[in-house]
Amino acid sequence: MRANIVDDIIIPSVTSFREEATILHEKITLFVAAPSIESLDEAQLQWKKTATAYGYVYAFNIGTVKDNFMHLKLYNWPTYTNAIENRINGNTELNEETIAKISTPSKGISSIEYLLFNSPNNDIIQNFATEKRKQYFLSSQRNYKPMLRNW
């Protein structure tokens, strides 16, 4: 019975989440490289697919995943929107190293959600004209990728 739960439910759910998160990474990279309504729509749709896939693995917060606080690192809510905007508008260099040091509600899937859905689409595209917003977005989404390998 236990092997069936692992083989039939847990492993396929985690595999699906990894796949959706990888596609999200690709869609975000495309959007940042060429912000448009189409590329934003694709990134938003993929975020929804990734969040849905995450919902299926959330119940498996056990063992090493729990010990390493993976759920909090990947998708900690509520999102600290003021912290995100302060970092984007501040003088700190934004890269994977600086993003790794900030609180979890300011990075990962919840920060990606905020950056993709915080305003009407035309405003989001206009906001992505700033290099620091692009850096934050790319660094934030890169921050969770190594965790996927450890799941």
Question: What pLDDT, in 10s, does the model give residues 7-17?
Answer: 888 889 889 98
Give the CA distances from residue 30 to residues 3, 13, 34, 41, 142, in Å, rounded to whole numbers and listed in that order.
39, 26, 6, 11, 14
Segments of 2-145 assigned E as strands: none
Dihedral, CA atoms, 50, 9, 79, 27, nearest 10 degrees? -10
Prediction pTM value = 0.87
Would you say residue 1 has pLDDT above 80?
Answer: no
Residue 146 has pLDDT above 60, yes or no: no
**Confidence band of 73 (pLDDT split at 50, 70, 90):** low
User: d(Cα 43, Cα 49) in Å, to the nearest integer?
Assistant: 10
Nearest to 34 by CA among 140, 145, 134, 143: 134
- Say if residues 108 and 140 touch (Cβ distance below 8 Å): yes
User: pLDDT class for 68, splitting at 50, 70, 90?
Assistant: low
pLDDT of residue 107: 81
